[in-house]
Amino acid sequence: MRKLKLSKKDYFDKVMGCWMGKNAGGTLGTPVEKMWGEKEPFALDYYLEIHEGGIPNDDLELQLIWMTMLEERGLDITCKDFADYWIDSIYYNPDEYGYCKTSLRLGLPAPVSGWYNNPCNDCMGCPIRSEIWACIAPGQPDIAAHYAWHDAVVDHAMGESVYGEMFNATMQSMAFFCSDFKLLVDFGLSAIPEECKTAQTIRLAMQCHADGMTWLEARNAVMAFAFHPNAQHSPINLGFQTLGWLYGEDFGDMLCKAVNCGWDTDCTGATIGALYGIIHGASALPEKWTKPLGHTLATSEPRGWIRENSYPRTVEEFTERCFAMAGRISEKFGNRLSFEQESDSLTSADELVACCDYKQIGLIYERRQDGAEYQAGPFRVQVAYPEQPVIAVERPTTVDLEINSQSLADSKIALSVVLPDGFAVEGMPEKLVLKAKGQIRFSFQVSVRQPEHIYKMNSVYIKLEAMDRPCMEMIPVTLAGARRYLVAPTLDKAAMWQPTSFKGDDLTVERFFKGRPGTVYLKHFVYIPVAEKDATIGVPTNGRMKLWLDGEKIHETGKQVSFRPSLRDDESNYIRLPLAKGWHEIQIELERDEEPILANLVMSHGALQHGWNEPERTWVRDEAPAAFNGNPEERVAERVR
């Protein structure tokens, strides 16, 4: 493994350039960011808005919080640490952020929180958070990738976005020593699966440029290949950031080329600005773009959207703290980087490859994103959900269990299960012998027959006891309750309402249409524990919908839009209204055209982007509660007692 030298002067120049460039790109792109990708490009050539410190942006301020987390939790951070800071410090909730935090609050662990009930795990929320991992691990791309993975999967597990952050982090890590963009892109691509959509789109962007296409021709080719109506979809934006660099003539033109491609404009501009700053340093950034913003880092803390008082406030402070962390990282991982008088420069692919432990990157991709790990004495236990972390009456839920021994001796282990009322387990061995440093894997099934036994969150505990060890641990298996609906093809009085379970907010009703246009009706019952003066109910769909609350029609599709189950209101399929405390009946009409229908039920306090705290929804009833009496909170309290 090649060891590298970096001068402190160069490090400070490059890291300051990273954050100043990122702030410039984000400030340029933020005013034109939209929910939907648009066919026509933009035509910006400078900022539309100028503010001291730039326009607050999650691209940058989330990384300020990650720095505080590193300082407070240490270098061995995992998904669990990220999850804590998402809940404690971050109070805005658009799209994947809100879905992830809803799952965390429900009781599901990270990284399960990143893929369960998350239709936005292919979005840009994590590729934009890559720079901090490069700045604390310059020239050590496998280490940057290690941290990037733990960051990405908390809110994007199983999605293309994980590849986006891994690509950016590894490329930016090597940019401290290499200025050849094509070499850096090739290196970044070597860290992600060749067949993923992200890699394909980046390679297409590179090929368009190599073939002599104009910027607009290349932009349209990337748009056609990776099109998605959601402007925040990750693969298309990774292609656009690549075009910004290839076709831009200087710093400002690179930012404008990336932003003018459209889609997630603040993200593409910010990433290109950061990469330029790492390669060339703050000293090379033109004052035209940096002087109006200054060196302070504007955040959304004054609006109450982040709450973390110890994050860096200026570019200089952030850089100083990155430098201190980079020294700690180098010491922890074998002193592969040293700060000397002169910096190394890498000019060939072989030199870049010699800096990376590809075996470690391979091991990163062996980590399961559909489960969580727990430590039980000398045993590392992984609980994974190969299908969904959901329990329903229709069929059992499969759970994979893996136990790894860190003991030097063989261990005799007894397993038993603590189950909620009405639950059963099959396939769980009662006793097993685990060899020294050995591993055992098996699957078991959890089932429940009656819907009244299913709660919002259901906890099965595996009791693990090892003979001759002071170890008796309870390993949680957390299962969300399936959403319970009544479905009918007509509102005719003679219609039969069919009880149906859905795994998440998605209304998977296409099977009821049998491949033809038509109409389907759904009923769902919700308990609101506290009166809501300002709630939001939405049924985003690519079809048409009508919505009733307690028998009164409250909304219907005003205009047909592309499907986006957003936690940002598209003003078409959502309505804001007060909700009284107690039980409510929600009825939905979904009308399908020729295309298969996609739909979700979304509920929130207030405006969607300002908070995602799910009402106390009941997913267990096949009919309305008698006179809407009863309180699920009382049932839970009784169960706990």
Same domain membership, residue 438 and residue 319? no
Same domain membership, residue 620 and residue 539? yes
Which residue among 326, 342, 366 closes a domain? 366
Structure-token pair, residue 206: 């590179």
Q: Using CA atoms, how far apart are residues 162 and 365, in angstroms rounded to an integer?
A: 10
Tell me: the pLDDT tens digits for 413-439?
A: 999 999 999 999 999 999 999 999 999
Which residue among 480, 512, 541 closes a domain? 480
- pLDDT band of 623, cuts 50, 70, 90: low
Domain containing 304 equals: 4-366
> What does the pLDDT read at residue 558?
84
Same domain membership, residue 288 and residue 214? yes
Neighbours of 83 (CB within 10 A): 23
Which whole-number Å values give the CA distances from 266 to 74, 240, 330, 395, 416, in the listed order?
Answer: 31, 12, 32, 44, 51
Q: Using CA atoms, how far apart are residues 32 and 231, in angstroms rounded to an integer?
A: 11
Same domain membership, residue 506 and residue 359? no
Let me know if 210 is exposed, middle or buried by CB neighbors in 10 A (0-12, 13-18, 19+): exposed
Same domain membership, residue 274 and residue 127? yes
> Residue 228 forms beta bridges with which residues?
none
Same domain membership, residue 429 and residue 352? no
Tell me: the pLDDT tens digits for 530-561?
A: 888 888 899 999 999 999 999 999 999 988 88
Which residue among 415, 446, 480 closes a domain? 480
| CA 389, 392, 398, 399 torsion-angle sign | positive
> What does the pLDDT read at residue 635?
43
CATH of the domain at 411: 2.60.40.10
Cα dihedral 192/193/196/202 (nearest 10): 50
Tell me: the pLDDT tens digits for 575-602?
A: 989 999 888 999 999 999 999 999 999 8
Same domain membership, residue 279 and residue 172? yes
Same domain membership, residue 523 and residue 398? no
CA 528, 533, 537 angle in degrees (round to 5)?
A: 60
SS3 183: helix
> What does the pLDDT read at residue 630?
47
Tell me: the pLDDT tens digits for 284-340?
A: 999 999 999 999 999 999 988 898 779 999 999 999 999 999 999 999 999 999 999
Q: Using CA atoms, how far apart are residues 246 and 257, in angstroms rounded to an integer?
A: 9
Same domain membership, residue 286 and residue 334? yes
For the residues 446-452, what does the mean pLDDT come to? 91
For the residues 595-610, what does the mean pLDDT come to? 79
Same domain membership, residue 258 and residue 178? yes
> What does the pLDDT read at residue 535?
85
Tell me: the pLDDT tens digits for 470-510?
A: 767 899 999 999 988 999 987 766 668 888 999 999 999 99
Tell me: the pLDDT tens digits for 346-361?
A: 999 999 999 999 999 9
Task: Name the domain count of the chain.
Answer: 3
Same domain membership, residue 414 and residue 504? no
